[in-house]
Amino acid sequence: MNLSSICSSLPTTKSKQKAELIQKEEIFMTTKGYFGQFGGSFVPEPIQALLDELEVTFEKYKDDPEFLAEFRHYLKDYSGRETPLYFAESLTDHLGGAKIYLKREDLNHLGSHKLNNVLGQILLAKRMGKKRVIAETGAGQHGVATAAAAAKFGMACDVYMGAEDVERQRLNVFRMEMMGATVHAVETGTRTLKDAVDAAFGAWMNDLEAFYVLGSAVGPHPYPTIVHEFQKVISEESRRQILEKEGRLPDYVIACVGGGSNAIGAFSLYVADEEVKLVGVEAAGHGLDTDKHAATMTKGSIGIVDGMKTYAVFKEDGELAPVYSISAGLDYPGVGPEHAYFKDSGRVEYVAATDEEAVQALLLLSKTEGIIPAIESSHAIAEAVKRAPKLSKDEIIIINVSGRGDKDVAAIADYLEAKK
């Protein structure tokens, strides 16, 4: 049983409850579990009972001084935060326009932003007395972070990963296994992230005593809110750092978007600053005019996917369409409901970058700054490469470098070899 089959019999829309838009910290929700019309919880009753328990636990601890002190301790001493906001002077000079700063989430322990959220969720799991965790992963970064935290806190760990992604990301698979996790290669569907999510939810249905560590800002309530809460540290830091370095806020913050966790974290503290333009970059794959892309916002429509109402890429028969990206972390057919809300409200501009643009951006940053970014993050860099030369030298761009590219080196080498 997977989440898609569970939800297939449910309606594709849910009546929008009227409520005055309230701002709760940086999270915009019109009703419980909703961002505007997006979000909700479309799951079977056994899962809903667990989600309700999780929500109660989260609400109890998210502002609890003891919990926050422990969370911040592990962010600092285990993960290595805070991460630098680095002025990419050579890249800025090369492009000849706006000043470019890099938020260096690639310098987090294990190489990406994923550990921020995992540490928060694992600490919740510990307080709930859980002994086993389940996770899905695309590029493997969330799986690696979950495996590490499970090892640290003495929990059993099962990670579900599309078989295609297992082949693309052998290094991360071995890293997970080294830390004691069991990695399950999912052979169904397109054998990528969407299928891993389905399999992980199915495994959770079979062991309701386990804790599901969801890696992106997607899924049924309260997961999008939880992931936002634990990832907002990215913009908490970058906002303070840019004020210290430049004495003002940036003109643009750019982040890649798959499910949307790094972008939610990168955007969070700037949402209320209307002068700061927020740009999310999806995977255009072989091009938006082909069927080989994962551009949910650009090409998708509204429906139910993975227990939430959001934008997703559907076929004519209403089934989810297969999606593609060179990036295993971006080839997801849906997107987090808060991003869907930001699209409809106009607060965030969503664009797309092709495989080729992302690869060239990866190579450019590597050659100008000696920083090898993840291929996911390279989609955001590609958009900055397009924009920066058109902007004045007084303008400022922050790019969220969500991860490092060690995991991608072999795949990029194969891509470049195939082009010869």
114 is catalytic: yes
Answer for the pair 313, 296: CB distance below 8 angstroms, yes or no: yes
User: Which residues, 6 or more positions from 300, have their beta carbon under 8 angstroms from its beta carbon?
Assistant: 311, 312, 313, 314, 333, 334, 335
Eight-class DSSP state of 334: B
Distance between CA 124 and CA 128 in Å, rounded? 6
Q: Which of 103, 114, 343, 407 is catalytic?
A: 114
Bridge-based pairing state of the strands 34-35 and 38-39:
antiparallel
Distance between CA 328 and CA 190 in Å, rounded? 12
The residues with which 294 forms a beta bridge, in sequence order, are 283
**Hey, what are 356's tokens?**
């080729």
Answer for the pair 134, 203: CB distance below 8 angstroms, yes or no: yes
User: Which residues, 6 or more positions from 211, have their beta carbon under 8 angstroms from its beta carbon?
Assistant: 121, 124, 125, 128, 130, 132, 133, 134
| Residue listed under structure tokens 């940036």 | 250
Identity at 61, one-letter amino acid code: Y
402 is catalytic: yes
Identity at 12, one-letter amino acid code: T
Q: Which of 99, 235, 402, 407 is catalytic?
A: 402
Q: Which of 55, 82, 105, 136 is catalytic?
A: 136
| Residue listed under structure tokens 């989430």 | 105
**Which residues are marked as active site?**
114, 136, 402
